[in-house]
Amino acid sequence: MRQLLVYLKDYKKECILAPLFKMLEAIFELFVPLVMAAVIDVGIAGKDISYIIKMCMVMVVLGLTGLLCSVTAQYFSAKAAAGFGTNVRHALFAHIQKLSFSSLDGIGTSTLITRMTSDINQTQSGVNMVLRLFLRSPFVVIGAMVMAFTIDVKSAMVFVITIPMLSAVVFGVMYVCIPLYKKVQSRLDAVTLHTRENLTGVRVIRAFHLEEEEKEAFGEKNQDLTRMQMFTGKISGLMNPVTYVMINGVTAYLLYIGALQVDGGVITQGEVVALVNYMGQILVELIKFANLIITITKGIACGNRVAAILKLPEGEREITYSHTDEASKTEDEMVAFSHVGLTYEHAGAESLTDISFTAKKGETIGVIGSTGSGKSSLVHLIPGFYPHTGGSIRIDGKRIEDYSKEELRQKVGIVMQKAVLFAGTIRENLLWGNLKADDAELKEALITAQAWEVVENKGGLSAQVAQGGRNFSGGQKQRLTIARALVRKPQILILDDSASALDYATDAALRRAIAGMKDQPTVFIVSQRASSIQYADQILVLDDGELAGIGTHETLLENCRVYQEIYYSQFPEKRRNAYHE
C-alpha cells in the first residue's frame, strides 16, 4: 500500500489542508460543551435571558464556522482522493501494457479487471476517509478527555480508562478483518471471471442449452462471495454494539459520579452536562473511527492487491543464452533459430526443444503440426512475446536480445489465432498497424488481404466496428486483422492460423496477393491445412515441441512420416494415387 502513496504527490496541498480544516472544525466543536455549561450555570441559574441569547449566538457562530471548515475539508479530501484514484488507474493500466505475456497468462484477465475497478475504488474511498477523519477523530477523543480534566480530574479519570478499552476493541476488529477482506476480494475475482466468461460465450451457452447449469454455477460462486462478506461483516459489525454498550455504561457511571460531585459542591450541574457531552462526542467520534477503520481495512487490502500488480517486473524475464552461432550468419538471412528451446514459467517441461532453421528475406515459411505441437509458441518467439530459454534467435542478422522491444516489434506484423477488433471505425482499427498511414495505404492493405469488398459493403473506412467486431463474420474479421498487420509494411509477417475461417478460394487468393507484394516480407504461415502451406519455400513440421521435418512439400512427402499423416488425412485420394503408383 505504501507504494501507492507516491500517486498523492501532486496533491500535497490538499493532503495538508483537508486534515487542517477538519482539526479546526474539531476545535470549534470542543468549545460547544463549555458554552452549554455556561448557559446552564450562568444564564439559566441566574435567569439572565440576554446572556442565554448571547451564548446561543456564540454556539451558532461556532456551528456555522465548523460547517464551513468541514465543507472545505471535504472538498480538498475529495479532490485529493479522486486525483489519487485517477493517477493509480493510469499507472496500473500503463504497467499492464508493459507486462510480459507470461505475467498476463499467470494473472488472468478477470483479476486485472477487478483490480482496475473495484480495488482502486475501495482504495480511493480509504484515502478520502483518512484525509477527513483519521486525524480528526483521535484529536476529538483526546481533546474531549483533556477538556474533561479541566472541569474535574476525578470524573475525567473515567475517560482515561474508557478510551484504551475502546481502542482495543477497534484495533482488534481491524486486525481480524484485514485478511478477511483479502479473501472477499479473491471471491470477487472468481465472480468476475465467471461473469466475463458467460458474457463472452453467451452464444455457446445457448447453443448447448446450458443456461440453467451456468446460473447454478454462478449462484454457487455468488453465494460463496456472499457468505464470506457476511462472515466478515458480522465480525466488523461487532464494533458498533460493543462500543455503544461500553460508552453508555460509562455515561451512566459518569452521571452517578457527577451527581455525587454536584452534591459535594465540587462541580456544577452545567459542568456535569459538559462532561456528558464530551463523552457523547467521544462516542460519536469512536463510531466514526470504527467505520473509518473498516474503510481503511478494505482500502489497505485492495491497495495491496493493486500494488502487487505494480510490483510485477515489466517486460520479459532475464535469460542467459547458451548458443550464438554468429559465424553462420548470411546477408540474406531474416530469421535464424539455432538450437532454440522454450519453457514457460512454472511449466514442468519444455514446450519447444532444439529448434533450428533459417528463413531468408522474402521467403514463405509454412509451420504445421498437430494440436499442441508448439506452432504458436514457435512464432511467438520471433516478436519476443516469450523469452526463449535455450539456444539463440537472430532477426535480420542481429541477436533478438540486442533489439529494443519497440525496434523488434516494428519489424514484425502478426495476426493472432483469435481475430480481435476494437470498437470504433474500420479506419481506426487499421491505423493500429501504422498511425501515419493514409487512406490509399489502408486501401492497398485491404485489397491485399481480400477485405476491400467487405469494407465497401459496410460503407467504407468510416463504418463502425462493434465491440469485439461482432458486426463482422469470422472470415471478415480475419481479413481485417490481416490488413491491419499489412498496413505496417513489416519485414516479417506472421499469420498464426489466421485464415482458418476463410474458404479455400479466398485463402489461395490471399496467399497469391501477399506473394505479389512490392516489398515482399518474410512470411510465416501457421496452419492446420496442408493446402495453405504446401507451396511454401520451406515447411517446418512440429511434433510434440520438436522439429520432425523441414523442407519443401515434395521432400517432406517422401521422408517425413508426421507430414505424410497430416497431408494424407486431408487428401485421402492422394494416398490412394501414391499407393497405385
CATH of residue 202: 1.20.1560.10
Asked, for residue 317, whether it belongs to a domain, the answer is: no
Same domain, residue pair 303 and 441: no
Q: What span, in angstroms and rounded, lies between the C-alpha atoms of 86 and 361?
A: 46
pLDDT along the chain (581 residues), means of 10: 83 91 89 86 84 90 91 93 93 88 77 86 90 85 85 81 80 78 81 84 87 91 91 82 81 82 82 83 77 79 87 61 46 89 82 92 92 89 88 91 86 88 92 90 92 91 89 90 92 88 86 86 90 90 92 91 90 63 49
Q: Assess contact for 147 and 278: CB atoms under 8 A.
A: yes
Same domain, residue pair 293 and 346: no
Residue 355, pLDDT score = 93
Q: Assess contact for 466 and 423: CB atoms under 8 A.
A: yes
- Boundary residue ending a domain (282, 310, 338): 310
* Max Cα-Cα span within the chain: 128
Q: Cα–Cα–Cα angle for 469, 475, 476, nearest 5°?
A: 50
Burial of 382 (0-12, 13-18, 19+ CB in 10 A): buried
Residue 324, pLDDT score = 44
Q: Which of 419, 392, 405, 382 minimizes the C-alpha distance to 499?
A: 419
Residue 315, pLDDT score = 62
CB contact burial 59-73 (16+ within 10 A = b; e otherwise): eeebeeebeebbebb
Q: Assess contact for 306 and 92: CB atoms under 8 A.
A: yes
Asked, for residue 412, whether it belongs to a domain, the answer is: yes
Asked, for residue 428, whether it belongs to a domain, the answer is: yes
- Domain residues for 351? 326-580
Asked, for residue 316, whether it belongs to a domain, the answer is: no
Residue 329, pLDDT score = 52
Q: Assess contact for 57 and 63: CB atoms under 8 A.
A: no
Pairing of strands 398-399, 390-395: antiparallel
Q: What span, in angstroms and rounded, lies between the C-alpha atoms of 553 and 571?
A: 14
Q: 339's torsion region: left (phi>0), alpha (psi -120 to 50) or beta?
A: left
Q: What are 98's three cell numbers?
A: 508493459
Asked, for residue 405, whether it belongs to a domain, the answer is: yes
Cβ atoms within 10 Å, residue 286: 27
Residue 359, pLDDT score = 93
Same domain, residue pair 127 and 91: yes
Provide the whole-model pTM.
Answer: 0.69
Same domain, residue pair 344 and 303: no
Asked, for residue 320, whether it belongs to a domain, the answer is: no
Same domain, residue pair 410 and 542: yes
Q: What span, in angstroms and rounded, lies between the C-alpha atoms of 74 and 380?
A: 51
Residue 319, pLDDT score = 41
Q: Which of 306, 289, 184, 309 minimizes the C-alpha distance to 234?
A: 184
Which residues are CB-contacts of 572 (< 8 A; sequence separation ≥ 6)? Answer: none
Same domain, residue pair 375 and 301: no
Same domain, residue pair 306 and 411: no
Residue ranges in 264-391 assigned as alpha helix (H)? 269-310, 375-380
Q: What span, in angstroms and rounded, lies between the C-alpha atoms of 2 and 95?
A: 17
Residue 321, pLDDT score = 38
Q: What are 498's three cell numbers?
A: 489466421
Q: Which residues pair with 338 in a beta bridge?
A: 392
DSSP string, 417-457: SS----SEEHHHHHTTT-TT--HHHHHHHHHHTT-HHHHHH
Same domain, residue pair 345 and 287: no
Q: Assess contact for 413 and 425: CB atoms under 8 A.
A: no
- Boundary residue ending a domain (265, 282, 310): 310
Same domain, residue pair 304 and 381: no
Domain of 537: which CATH number? 3.40.50.300
Q: Which of 454, 386, 392, 384 minimizes the C-alpha distance to 419?
A: 454
Which residues are CB-contacts of 40 (< 8 A; sequence separation ≥ 6)? Answer: 268, 269, 270, 273
Q: What span, in angstroms and rounded, lies between the C-alpha atoms of 75 and 80?
A: 9
**Position 220, amino acid:** E
**Residue 340 half-sphere exposure toward CB, CA atoms < 13 A:** 28
Same domain, residue pair 96 and 65: yes
Same domain, residue pair 353 and 501: yes
Same domain, residue pair 284 and 355: no
Q: What are 153's three cell numbers?
A: 480530574
Residue 381, pLDDT score = 92
Give 186-190 contacts, CB < 8 A, sequence gap 24+: 187/221, 187/224, 187/225, 187/228, 187/229, 188/114, 188/118, 188/225, 189/108, 189/110, 189/111, 189/114, 190/110, 190/221, 190/224, 190/225
For residues 547, 549, 552, 554, the Cα torsion angle rounded to the nearest 10 degrees is -160
pLDDT digits 0-9 by tens, 16-75: 999 999 989 888 888 888 888 888 888 888 888 888 899 889 989 998 998 999 999 999
- Boundary residue ending a domain (278, 310, 342): 310
Asked, for residue 352, whether it belongs to a domain, the answer is: yes
Asked, for residue 272, whether it belongs to a domain, the answer is: yes
**Number of domains, the chain:** 2
Burial of 476 (0-12, 13-18, 19+ CB in 10 A): buried
